[in-house]
Structure 1
Amino acid sequence: MSEPRSTARTAGRVVSHLGVMALVSVVLGVVVAGLAIPFAGVAGIGTRNLADTMDQLPAQLETGTLDQRTTILDRNGDVLATVYDQNRVEVPLSQVSRKMVKAMLATEDARFYQHGALDLQGTLRAFITNQAESGTVQGGSSITQQLVKQTLLYQAGDNKKEQAAATADTYARKLQELRYAVALEQNHSKDWILQRYLNTVYFGDGAYGIQSAAKHFFNVNASDLSLLQSATLAGLVRNPSGYDPIDDPQAATNRRNVVLQRMVSVGIIKQRRANKLSKRDLGLDPQRTTNGCTQSTAPFFCQYVINYLKTDPALGDNRKARENLIETGGLTIKTTLAPNYQKAADTAVSSHVYPTDQAIGGLAMVQPGTGEVFAIAQSRPMGTDKAKGQSYINYTVPKRYGNSGGFQPGSTFKAFVLAAAIEKGVPLSKTIYSPPHIDVPQNSFKVCGGKNYQSTADYPVNNSTDPGTSNPNLYQGTQYSVNTFFVQLEQQIGLCKPYKLAKRMGITGLQDTNKWMVPSFTLGVASVSPLEMADAYATFAARGLYCSPRPVTSISDANGNELKTYPAKCRQVMQNSTADAVNDILTGVIAPGGFASAQQLDSPAAGKTGTTQDGKSVWFVGYTPDMAAAAMIAGANQYGTPISLTYQTVGGRTIYSASGSGYAAPIWGDAMKAIMGQLPNDSFVAPNASDVAGVPTTVPDVYGRSLDGARKQLEAAGFTVAYGSYINSTYPEGTVAATSPSVGSTAPSGSTITILQSNGTPPAPSKPDKPKKSGGGDKNKPGKGKNKGRGRG
């Protein structure tokens, strides 16, 4: 807060100064043009009228806050990008080198701490000096007056009319400026005024304020400026473009030397030292502070962060207000971006899809259980040069964050139908006859409310894979991505449950039920982004806990005060057991024999391929217990509209038939393999047979146990129990003699195990085989077993 001055200069006292100056001006027979006050105009009116005029002018200047640049940090605290309207970082006067303060005062207002708003002596001295030098060597206005002018220009912004008013060489403007200066001196301390001045003024080449100027021209903090550097910067304020050290180093050197001489004249340094310093070069070390996301190491993540914050009502009443806060508020934005993961994502995408390819590649990484976005990458660089494949469309995030309409995800949507079926109680062992082609009546599908889907037409479905069986169960139907299996599964459980589950898992583009709650839902006809799919599958990894994707963890204001935090927003959208079962099934896609077996990791992983029937996009969405990622390759024209991948180039080569396993999965595999060493080696939780029907379960050993004890053990393993007949057994009467299926075999959880009870009578000993006669060689040949092996090896 500013410190009020103990002695205030009244308007009348200032007017008396004006009168004296006007009188001197008349006596000298000159008109002091270009100084603090147009004295010729003042001389024509009386002191009382001048005082009355000043009293009618606005008394207070609203200084407000200065624009400052916003800094965006990655999760390690390193700078990801800077965003600003004016490149400024405010610092207190205590963090400005005393050498800088002395150089600025010597140049602009050596008697700043001795006079009030108007320095009569300094004004006249500046006039005489400037006339002798035939140019502006010394300033005529006090620093307080300059601050008023700088503030009015700052407040004018891009308004040309207000800019002209702030710089008009008129009697009224000069009086108003002086009136404001008087008010500043009354309400603020000298130190506050000087600090504000140093933080306000423009030093040229895009640097506003002393801290940004010190960093920009010399790569040092304002507190560390040397005498020579201070003299250079102090000389820029009067004409930043004319004395620009980078564009015209000789002009800047000459101006610096003038400042050194001024420092000699006011007794700050000796002439000998000034002469010595004047021979040195400027010693520049220019540093460019990039503005915006284009030059960031993760430009599209940066863009996503900014657009994400523009939707936050806590940062302003409307999008324009939030944008203004981001660009001018001096915020520090801490993000979730993990540099190593971003590098892995960038490398994986760029090695498979080139910027100038007609197709687009994208990848998003999300942490299960938190929703933190670790990385997003795409093949198109940020920019406007279409010949280089550049674009400002962010294809990896939802439309409101990146302006991409998304792409159809293909069979990756089958996971939503799978989870909804398991949640409804469908056994994992359930089989469905799934021929290569079926025609399904569309009105046989139930929508929300129990009504039938409104269409009498048949829905023709074809398989693009061979599951090796005509009656696959949930494991086989998913591992081989059998279309006719999943459409019929969807038909049996209805469209409402998988549709609502997908929405609860973050698929944002499903608002139109008439458009997307359709029989083809399971084949992925809705448009989505890689970020949405990665986040949705992260829900499976987190055992049914959905967390909204977030790229930001906190925001602090320019003073370091925490403005807002962004904690994880999570909710349970399915039972743990359902997610565990989905994970168990989807591990088969990456396991040997699965479509994406080539992407096996050193740790447990699960996933699903996706290929659209019209060939516009191919996908692979996969995850470990600790990281989920979605990879996509899609065809798109220059406007981002989806087109077929057929005959498009990917990796510089024309493709004729694309698949999720062949094109998208390798991107996912390369990225995940690069970061596996940074992830915990966790395992998925095995599905609990007592909670999920159809889990392949080993029949426990209950032989010899009581019926009640055996029943409890079998039910605990997830089976139901039936009782069969009594049989001869060596086990005591009334205990378990055998089971069907037998102990040690595998049966689906929820299936029935029949207990056979012992009658207490040992079985009769078997008779020894009769010795075989010699001869008849064929009789000695090994017998042909009736039970042929059916194992899959």
Structure 2
Amino acid sequence: MGKKRSGGGLSPTQQAAKFLGVSVLAGAVLAGIALPAAGALGLAAKGSVEGFDEIPATLKQPPLSQRTTILDNKGGAIATVYSRDRTVVPLKDISPYMQKALVAIEDSRFYEHGAVDMKGILRAINENAQSGGVAQGASTLTQQYVKNVFMEEAGDDPTKLAQATQQTIGRKIRELKYAIQLEDKLGKKRILANYLNITYFGEQAYGVEAASQRYFSKSAKDLTMEQSAMLAGIVQSPSRYDPVNDEAEAVKRRNVVLQRMAETHDISQDEADRAKEKPLGLKISRPQNGCITAVKGAGFFCDYVREVFLTDPVFGKTKEARAKLWNRGGLRVQTTLDPQTQESVQASIKDHVYQTDKVATAATFVEPGTGKILGMGQSKPYGFGKNETQINYSVDRKMSGSNFGFPTGSTFKPFLAAAALEQGTPVTQSYPAPYRMPYPKSVQTCSGKPWVNNGGFTVENENRSEFGPYALEEAMAKSINTYFVQMIGDTGMCPVMDMADKLGVVQGNGDKLPEVPAIVLGSKGISPLTMASAYAAFANRGTYCTPVAIESITAPGDKSLPVPKSSCSRAMTTKTADSINTLLSGVIDSGTGREAGLTDRDNAGKTGTTDSRKNAWFVGYTPNLSGAVWVGSALQNVEMENITIGGQYQPKVFGGQVPGPIWRDAMVGALSGKPSPGFNLIDIPDPEKDKRDRGGDGDQDPGPDRGDGSPGNSGKSPWPGISLPPGVIGGGNGHGGGRR
């Protein structure tokens, strides 16, 4: 082993280079920045002595990245998100002790020298020459601030960060030139304030306000002498002097700062000595960052807001521009989330479906007429642990939702009914609707080439006691599958596709719905947010509004940013909407949704349960609130028969039995104290119902049920290019998921 070298283990060549670098800077200042040629020192041209005049005259100071606060529609904080935890404060809101402590330990002659401290440089040259290495630096507070600006601009880019911190003469010269410019432009007080707001204090805290909150749970303006000394001491090496991980080392460093404050006459020696005896007095506030910290179970809504920001062109033309704006932060994002609705939604979910259950639930509620999302929750919390997830079951895949959405069962039937009524079908339309029947031989499509049933594919009702003839009102109330298959045969696919488009209904993966008759029985996956928004158009008497989550955004400096607006358009006539409202009121009054009904206000809705009971839905609304509730397995691998959900045993799950009560209880709390407007209901004669008295329905009295979901043929899909899950086609329960 050779003898250990001084200067931190640097070789003589490295030590000489370091010494020469400091000498060059000193000479540069003494000569009025008349630096010698690069060749004389063997320096690289770019960014070196020769390139001094080529450095831009003005330092680009990027906006400091700060916390972004996401608020509900009443101004309450939902969550805080940031790439760097920082809150910028003016100098008047920083304790005088903190200001003095930092200057004392980092640059005690700050108010006496210019941008470059010649006395400090000469002292450093002398110390380094005597030590044979680099024992002391000579950067002023202003130069350190310039270095921090370079680091802030580099962000998390490792290449740019390395360039910003590399120990080269070229970087030192850039710091020097910009320091001179800033001293002239900003003045001492502004530079000190900027430094205190930009520098890193460890433990993810950038700037003195965040550091004060992190270590002492108080504002920077309230820091005491010893607390200020501790924070000032951290700056030199945030990892070494981290008081959380090494309190003893932090105490030593704090006391060094206190002694330096006494030497600079900022405090008396007696004050310093007394302060040195005190404990650090830490009161740690752990970093609270990201949607995982959201209150009221609003983690998934918080995540949806972030996704909106990162994907909507209103916040920037490119993905990179939007991400940069979001990461820079400092925003106050006022959202549409209603705390009363959100609390009610999450409480109802917690009561009915447990986090540890085999299945999950997701619920989303929107305001008819505005598209505002008022509540969004699910039983598997936002997180990374067991029985937690970061997949938002309420939204489409592009917004961090499930891959395909979830098959909706019979909740799709109102879309067909609306399309048929728009085409002139009478609201009293009657069909034979037998218990079981084949799909129509052909169904017209938008292309003009009909879908053809050339495989004998069949559909059946939930139980054998359900056979027609039925008129529309009773068929909707009892969710008669064969009725709606006959209706789509007469209506054709194109009006249904057109209605789906007008209501914003797409598959969870973003694709348009396929032109196949099975969609009317809910064979395709759709998200709860999409369903809630579509049903809101019924509540709004035929006008659909795209969902929105953000009310306003305020950037630093109280600058307002543009936000996405809801786009409202007529999807159907008011007559059609009033007819659907009447039909779906009947579902709750006397049909499959009786367990979901509200007793104190007009309400309407539809149940849906898919084949093998892998999904159950209830989508319902009042004139002023629309909500969709889904229950099932995200992986579509749990059949909800003989299952316990929320502590309640369920022999068979129906849309009206589990999702329905979740919707009901959420609505009760959400609408408590709110107005209760009524629907414009119409009188619908039902001659078929008057002819007979048929008791029972699937939700209340399921009756015989084959429940095997097996196809009555080869099981091949009759629709080219469309793959369907077992049970969607064929005999048995070949209705594509259209149970209750």
> Structure 2 CA distance, aligned partners of 1:205 and 1:512?
41
Contact 2:410/2:607 (8 A) holds in 1: yes
What does residue 67 of structure 1 align with? 65
2:299 is matched with 299
- Give CA-to-partner distance per residue, 1:506-553, whole Å, 9 cap, x none: 212299999622122211112101111111111111111111111111
The aligned amino acid for 2:669 is A
For 1:670-681, what aligned pairs fall within 5 Å after superposition? 670-681=665-676
Q: Which residue matches 2:317?
A: 317
Partner of 1:203: 201
Conserved in 2, the CA contact under 8 Å of 1:108 and 1:139? no
Per the TM alignment, residue 323 of structure 1 is displaced from its structure 2 partner at its CA by 2.3
CA separation in 1, counterparts of 2:463 and 2:359?
25
Shift of 1:175: 3.1
Q: Give the deviation of 1:562 after TM superposition.
A: 0.5
Q: Secondary structure at the match of 1:324?
A: helix
The aligned counterpart of 1:737 is none
The question of whether the paired residues in 2 share the 8 Å contact of 1:365 and 1:373 is answered with yes
Q: Whole-Å Cα distance in 2 between the matches of residues 364 and 123 of structure 1?
A: 64
SS at match of 1:207: coil
Distance in 2 between the 1:438 and 1:416 partners?
22
Q: Partners in 1 of 2:117 and 2:333 — Cα distance?
A: 44
Match of 1:357 in 2: 357
| Equivalent in 170, 179, 182 of residue 180 of structure 2 | 182
Aligned residue type for 1:477 = A
Query: What amino acid is aligned across from residue 440 of structure 2 in structure 1?
Result: P
Is 1:424 aligned to residue 423 of structure 2? yes
Moved more, 187-196 or 431-440: 187-196
- Which position in structure 1 is the counterpart of 2:43? none
Deviation readout 1:185-219 (Å, 9 max, x if unpaired): 34433333222211111011110011211222222
Secondary structure in 2 matching 1:257? helix
Could you tell which deviates more after superposition, 314-323 or 366-375?
314-323
How far apart, CA to CA, are the structure 2 residues paired with 1:223 and 1:36? 42
Residue-pair matches, total: 662
CA distance in 1, matches of 2:512, 2:553: 40
Change (3 A) 1:272 1:131: farther
Relative to structure 1, the CA distance from residue 515 to residue 167 in structure 2 (aligned partners, 3 Å threshold; closer, same or farther) is closer
Instruction: Note if 1:99 corresponds to 2:97.
Output: yes
Partner residue, 1:621: 619
Aligned counterpart in structure 2 of residue 85 of structure 1, from 76, 83, 101: 83
- State the distance in 1 between where 2:473 and 2:150 align: 72
Question: Aligned residue for 2:653?
Answer: 658
Larger mean CA deviation between 500-509 and 41-50 belongs to: 41-50
Distance in structure 2 (CA, Å) of the matches to 1:791 and 1:487: 21
The aligned residue for residue 735 of structure 1 is none
CA gap 1:564/1:266 in 2 versus in 1, 3 angstroms: same
1:273 aligns with 2:282: no
Shift of 1:661: 1.5
SS of match in other structure, 2:652: coil
Q: Residue 39 of structure 1 is aligned with which of 15, 23, 26?
A: 23
CA distance in 1, matches of 2:433, 2:218: 71
Give 3-state SS (helix, strand or coil) of 1:427's partner.
coil
Identify the residue that residue 586 of structure 1 maps to in structure 2.
584
Counterpart-to-counterpart distance in 1, 2:592 and 2:380: 31
- Does residue 1:566 correspond to 2:551, yes or no? no
Q: Which amino acid aligns with 1:661?
A: G
- Paired position in structure 2 for 1:775: none
Query: What corresponds to 1:327 in structure 2?
Result: 327
Q: Deviations over 1:430-481 (max 9, x none)?
A: 32222111123331x2222655324434441211157877222111110011
Question: Whole-Å Cα distance in 1 between the matches of residues 163 and 573 of structure 2?
Answer: 68
User: Cα–Cα, structure 1 residues 391 and 572, in superposed 2: closer, same or farther, change >3 Å?
Assistant: same
Q: CA deviation at 1:159?
A: 4.8
**1:517 matched residue in structure 2:** 515
Alpha-carbon contact 2:19-2:129 (below 8 Å) kept: no
Give the distance between the partners of 2:664 and 2:314, measured in 1 at CA: 39
Alpha carbons 2:25, 2:173 under 8 Å: kept: no
Q: Distance in 2 between matches of 1:513 and 1:400?
A: 11
**Which AA in structure 2 matches 1:105?**
V
**Please, which of 116, 129, 132 is the counterpart of residue 118 of structure 1?**
116
Query: Is the contact between residue 333 and residue 552 of structure 1 (CA under 8 Å) also seen in structure 2?
Result: yes
Question: Residue 347 of structure 1 corresponds to which residue in structure 2?
Answer: 347
User: Which amino acid in structure 2 is aligned with residue 392 of structure 1?
Assistant: Q
In the alignment, residue 266 of structure 2 is paired with which amino acid? I
Distance 2:121 2:504 in 1: 68
Partner of 2:236: 238
Distance 1:402-1:519 versus aligned 2 partners, 3 A rule: same
Are the counterparts in 2 of residues 360 and 634 from structure 1 also a CA contact under 8 Å?
Answer: yes
Bigger Rg, which one: 1
Partner of 1:442: 441
Cross-structure match for 1:479: 477
Given that 1:217 and 1:284 are in contact with CA atoms closer than 8 Å, whether structure 2 keeps it comes out as: yes
Rounded Cα–Cα distance in structure 2 between residues aligned with 1:50 and 1:583: 83
For residues 340 and 417 of structure 1, what CA distance do their matches in structure 2 show?
34
For the structure 1 residues 181 and 605, does the alpha-carbon distance in structure 2 shift closer, same or farther, using more than 3 Å as the test?
Answer: same
1:366 lines up with 2:366 in the alignment: yes
How many Å apart are 1:609 and its aligned residue? 0.5
Q: Which has the higher contact order (CA 8 A, sep 6+)?
A: 2
SS in 1 for 2:374: strand
Give me the identity figure in percent.
Answer: 38
Equivalent position amino acid for 1:625 in 2: P
Report the alpha carbon displacement of residue 620 of structure 1 after superposing the two structures with TM: 0.7
SS of the residue corresponding to residue 534 of structure 1 reads helix
Amino acid at match of 1:673: V
Question: Which whole-Å CA distance do the structure 1 matches of 2:505 and 2:20 have between them?
Answer: 65
The superposition leaves residues 46-88 of structure 1 with CA deviations (integer Å, 9 ceiling, x where unpaired) of 9697355546222543322222222211212122122222111
Q: In 1, Cα distance between the equivalents of 2:616 and 2:129?
A: 77
Q: Does 1:539 align with 2:537?
A: yes
What is the distance in 2 between the residues matched to 1:534 and 1:686? Answer: 21
1:606 aligns with 2:601: no
Contact between 2:358 and 2:638, CA under 8 Å: does it hold in 1? Answer: no
Q: Which residue of 1 aligns with 2:4?
A: none
Report the counterpart of residue 767 of structure 1 in structure 2: none
1:408 aligned residue: 407
- Residue-by-residue CA offset, 1:712-756 (whole Å, 9 max, x unaligned): xxxxxxxxxxxxxxxxxxxxxxxxxxxxxxxxxx999xxxxxxxx
Q: Is the 8 A contact 1:467 1:476 kept in 2?
A: no
Distance 1:412 1:88, change over 3 A: same
Instruction: Tell me the alpha carbon deviations over residues 137-180 of structure 1, each in whole angstroms, 9 at most, x when there is no partner.
Output: 99742111111222233334445555444444444443333233
Amino acid at match of 1:314: V
The amino acid of 1:100's aligned partner reads M
**TM-fit CA distance, 1:628:** 1.0
| Partners of 2:336 and 2:348 in 1: CA distance | 20
User: Which amino acid in the other structure matches residue 681 of structure 1?
Assistant: S
- 1:457 and 1:789 map into 2 onto residues whose CA distance is 35
Hey, what's the Cα distance between the residues in 1 that align with 2:247 and 2:305? 39
CA distance in structure 1 between the partners assigned to 2:449 and 2:161 by the alignment: 67
- 2:732 matched residue in structure 1: none
Deviation digits for residues 554-582 of structure 1 (CA, Å, limit 9, x no counterpart): 12212221011333321121111211111
Larger mean CA deviation between 291-300 and 136-145 belongs to: 136-145
Q: What SS is found at the alignment partner of 1:203? A: coil
Distance 1:634 1:320, change over 3 A: farther
Query: Partners in 1 of 2:415 and 2:28 — Cα distance?
Result: 86
Contact 2:435 2:466 in 1 (8 A): no
Mapped partners of 1:86, 1:199: distance in 2: 12
* C-alpha distance in structure 2 between counterparts of 1:513 and 1:393, whole Å: 19
SS in 2 for 1:284: coil
Residue pair 1:86, 1:208 contacting (<8 A) in 2 also: yes
Contact 1:546 1:571 in 2 (8 A): yes
Task: Please give the alpha-carbon distance, in whole angstroms, between the structure 2 residues aligned to 1:313 and 1:296.
Answer: 26
- In structure 2, the CA distance between the partners of 1:497 and 1:642, relative to structure 1 (3 Å rule), is farther
Give the TM-score taking structure 2 as reference length: 0.82
What does residue 383 of structure 1 align with? Answer: 383
Question: Deviation at 1:608?
Answer: 0.4
Task: Look up the match of 2:714.
Answer: none
Q: For residue 341 of structure 1, report the CA deviation from its aligned partner.
A: 1.9
Contact 1:417–1:498 (Cα < 8 Å) also in 2: yes
| Map of 1:778 onto structure 2 | none
What residue in structure 2 maps to residue 754 of structure 1?
none
